Amino acid sequence: MKPYHSMDKETLEREYSPSSCIDDIMVFIKMYIDESRAAHRSLKDIMKADIKYGPEKRSNLDMFIPDSDEALPIHVFIHGGYWQELSKNESAFAAPNFVDHNVIFIAFDYTLAPEANLFEIVDQTRRGIISIIKKAASFGGDTNNITISGSSAGGHLVAEVLSTNWKEYGFDECPVKGALCLSGVFDLEPIVNTYVNDPLKMTKKDAHALSPLYHIPDQSCPIIFTVGENETSEFHRQTHEYMQACTEKGIETSFIEMPRFNHFDIALELNKKDNSLFQAVLKQIKS
């Protein structure tokens, strides 16, 4: 029995509603928008917008590529929004910090539910990351130095990418160098009976198949985990349970405490050069 098995619907919906821990979600959405717009303006000369990686309308990337004669590390950020909100347009807020450290920053987009179901979203994201890996050299990237991060639903998508059977795609092992999961959802069963599932329409069988917790890879890159202090008990449990399962499988994991932070402002810290989250990602890049 897991804690959510004994929760009534009201409690379960509160636990899986990150905004239940804050006064106004739009304050933070506005930060995503404003800081991303500022990044677009300040980095307009090195930005390549709407790069296609697949046939879907939202199979697009925004790349921020520092000027260099050498192949540069690449960092890909996958946005959250419960697979049904937000886009790459609000996901460039950390670009200035990565560019300042001579790292190519990519804001990643994908089709949202209900236009796509979650199986399709996972497949699209996986294909997108593989496309970036295979084409890295064409835009000045280092194929052997690609890290990824994702917040909330993006954290789930990062974990699903890491669960890829890489041999099926021509790789001997995981080609991603490092990953960061911020406040991810790794066991989807508890959200089946909540409002979150209305556009997703997952069955319990679907949720099990789409849960990274139940298909942890035999081999993976190191994974950094974090969750804000001001988040629900279920988001804390989800992160620690998945992290422990990865550790037991032999995957290198680490956890970074984020006191005072919530589900939404935690990702914004990636644009601060001295923040522990960014420094941990930078360590992966430089290792």
In a domain, 101, yes or no: yes
Check: pTM over 0.85? Answer yes or no: yes
> CA-CA distances (angstroms) from residue 40 to 57, 123, 148, 151, 189?
21, 28, 20, 20, 38
In a domain, 92, yes or no: yes
In a domain, 234, yes or no: yes
Residue 40, pLDDT score: 98
- Polymer length in residues for the chain: 287
In a domain, 48, yes or no: yes
In a domain, 282, yes or no: yes
Q: Residue 1: is its pLDDT beyond 90?
A: no
The average pLDDT across 6-15 equals 96
In a domain, 19, yes or no: no
Amino acid at 123: D
- Could you tell me if 94 and 101 are in contact, meaning their C-beta atoms sit under 8 angstroms apart? no
Residue 146, pLDDT score: 98
CA torsion, ordered 149, 153, 157, 158, to nearest 10 deg = 20
pLDDT digits (tens, 9 = 90+) for 219-237: 999 999 999 999 999 999 9
Residue 168's domain comprises 3-14+24-286
The average pLDDT across 108-129 equals 98
Q: What is the DSSP string of 190-203?
A: GGTTSGGGTTT---
pLDDT digits (tens, 9 = 90+) for 199-222: 999 999 999 999 999 999 999 999
Q: How many percent of the chain have pLDDT more than 90?
A: 100
CA torsion, ordered 220, 224, 228, 232, to nearest 10 deg = 20
The average pLDDT across 139-161 equals 98
CATH number of the domain to which 109 belongs: 3.40.50.1820
**Total of domains in the chain:** 1
The distance of Cα 209 from the centroid of its chain, to the nearest Å, equals 19
The partner residues of 72 in beta bridges, in order of sequence, read: 141
Neighbours of 256 (CB within 10 A): 17
pLDDT digits (tens, 9 = 90+) for 151-186: 999 999 999 999 999 999 999 999 999 999 999 999
Residue 236, pLDDT score: 98
In a domain, 67, yes or no: yes
pLDDT digits (tens, 9 = 90+) for 252-286: 999 999 999 999 999 999 999 999 999 999 999 99
In a domain, 193, yes or no: yes
CA 261/CA 238 separation, integer angstroms: 17
CA 210/CA 52 separation, integer angstroms: 25
Residue 107 φ/ψ, nearest 5 degrees:
-90, 120
Residue 86, pLDDT score: 98
Q: What is the DSSP string of the chain?
A: --GGGG--HHHHHHHT-GGGGSS-HHHHHHHHHHHHHHHHHHTGGGEEEEEE-SSSTT-EEEEE----SS-EEEEEEE--STTTS--GGG--TTHHHHHHTT-EEEEE--PPTTTS-HHHHHHHHHHHHHHHHHHGGGGTEEEEEEEEEEETHHHHHHHHHHT--GGGGT-SS----EEEEES-----GGGTTSGGGTTT---HHHHHHT-GGGS--SS---EEEEEEEES-HHHHHHHHHHHHHHHHTT--EEEEEEEEEETTTTGGGGG-TTSHHHHHHHHHHH-
